[in-house]
Amino acid sequence: MKTSSAAPCVRCAVQAPRRTHVIHQRHAVTAAAERNGQQAGQPAAPPAAPQHAPLLLRLRSAAAAVALSATLALAPVGVGSVPEAQAASVGINNDTPVIDLARVVPSARLEGLQQQLKQLESDTGWRVRMLTRPGPSNEPSVEEIRAGWTVDDRTIVVFVDPTSPNILNFKFGREVRSVLRPQFFTELQGRFGNMFNVREQGESAAVMGMMDALTGCLAQGGCFAVPGVSMDHYVLTLATSLAGGIIAGSASKLQPTGFVQRQWVWVLLFAPLWGTLFINFGLGPIVSRTSDLLPVLGNSAAFLASAFLVASSGKVAQMAGLSTDEGDA
């Protein structure tokens, strides 16, 4: 065991001086080569360039490119801004209140509509602009529209998209709210822009009807609701008038009991119910939208007729021989 462990130590002791001698020789050769090069007038080798030099160059180039792009973006183009130049290329300007890219407005009425909107602006100061686009496109952009039409707080912009379920959309300034409530535009959109009305009347008729209602309200200083009553709306008011009459007639048939000593008192107690149906939903929408008395008279007659028929249903049945009283059995 002692002999085998001592052999490696002997080899290490023999190899260590040899390695030291080889290292000293390499250093000596290198020093001699440097001295010879200096004596011959040759310059010493330059130090190696740092590894991060290419990265610094790339960063400097990128910074210069960003600065150049910012300068070009902020620089004016000709005499106007970029949105104004693009709006002019599309044709958006105050001399053309209607841009009909979707060909919705009839050609025979387009020029008349342009003059109508210009006259409205001249008389009242309210500015109405309309843009029709064939599909959900962003061209022209909002910036181009604002720049071309100089949109302000007294401007209403109507967007028409024939491919949408509701073809109408409105954007309006703050001052418009003083004469037309937001609910007005909601009703205007729902009445003229819904797919059923467009399918029945056509896109052109729906758009022109909307423009007539909008400009008419602005010309007279504002509207509480959209003028006119559609057939669907009138049928709804007629149905509520009939329902109110049925409730009033049923209340009149109740027998006196408790603190109620007269039959007509029941009619007064149920007045909030039948009055809401007849007055608020039967007459209110008509009176606020039209001055025509015919729908008002029709709903009033429907209310009275339904109330009378329900109140006198027993007498009518007896006169017709349909009574089922036990005394007749």
CATH code of the domain containing 139: 3.10.310.50
Q: Evaluate whether 209 touches 230 at the Cβ level (below 8 Å).
A: no
Domain end marker among 219, 243, 276: 219
Alpha-carbon span 195 to 170, nearest angstrom: 17
Q: Evaluate whether 160 touches 168 at the Cβ level (below 8 Å).
A: yes
**Do residues 239 and 315 share a domain?**
yes
User: Does residue 301 fall inside a structural domain?
Assistant: yes
User: Does residue 324 fall inside a structural domain?
Assistant: no
**Do residues 207 and 242 share a domain?**
no
Three-state SS for 168?
strand
**Do residues 171 and 267 share a domain?**
no
The pLDDT mean for the chain works out to 78
pLDDT for 183 beyond 80: yes
β-sheet bridge partners, residue 136: none
**Do residues 159 and 240 share a domain?**
no
pLDDT for 136 beyond 80: no
pLDDT tens-digit map of 34-88? 555 444 444 544 444 444 446 655 666 666 555 545 443 444 434 344 444 444 4
What pLDDT score does 30 carry?
Answer: 54
User: Does residue 48 fall inside a structural domain?
Assistant: no
User: Does residue 88 fall inside a structural domain?
Assistant: yes
Domain end marker among 150, 184, 219: 219
Total domains present in the chain: 2
What pLDDT score does 178 carry?
Answer: 92
What pLDDT score does 308 carry?
Answer: 93
| CA dihedral sign, ordered 165, 171, 174, 180 | negative
**Do residues 271 and 313 share a domain?**
yes
**Do residues 174 and 270 share a domain?**
no
Alpha-carbon span 301 to 242, nearest angstrom: 9
Burial of 240 (0-12, 13-18, 19+ CB in 10 A): buried
User: Does residue 181 fall inside a structural domain?
Assistant: yes
User: Does residue 328 fall inside a structural domain?
Assistant: no
| CA dihedral sign, ordered 60, 61, 62, 64 | positive
Name all contacts of 310-318 with Cβ < 8 Å and 24+ positions apart.
Answer: 310/245, 310/246, 310/249, 310/250, 310/253, 311/249, 311/250, 311/252, 311/253, 313/249, 313/253, 314/253
**Do residues 115 and 214 share a domain?**
yes
Cis peptide before 140 (omega within 30 of 0): yes
Q: How far is CA 31 from the centre of its chain?
A: 83
Q: Of 44-53, 162-171, 304-313, 317-326, which range is least confident?
A: 44-53
Q: Is the entire prediction scored with pTM above 0.85?
A: no
Q: Look up tokens 């210009």; give the residue.
A: 118
Confidence tier at 192 by pLDDT (50, 70, 90): very high
Domain end marker among 219, 254, 283: 219
Domain housing 288: 231-319
Alpha-carbon span 225 to 184, nearest angstrom: 6
**Do residues 188 and 268 share a domain?**
no
Burial of 148 (0-12, 13-18, 19+ CB in 10 A): buried
**Do residues 90 and 143 share a domain?**
yes
**Do residues 270 and 156 share a domain?**
no
pLDDT for 325 beyond 60: no
Q: Of 68-82, 181-195, 270-284, 296-310, which range is least confident?
A: 68-82
Q: What is the mean pLDDT of residues 206-231?
A: 91
Q: Of 22-26, 89-93, 161-165, 202-206, which range is least confident?
A: 22-26
User: Does residue 267 fall inside a structural domain?
Assistant: yes
User: Does residue 7 fall inside a structural domain?
Assistant: no
| Residues with Cβ within 8 Å of residue 313, at least 6 apart in sequence | 249, 253
**Do residues 250 and 203 share a domain?**
no
**Do residues 189 and 97 share a domain?**
yes
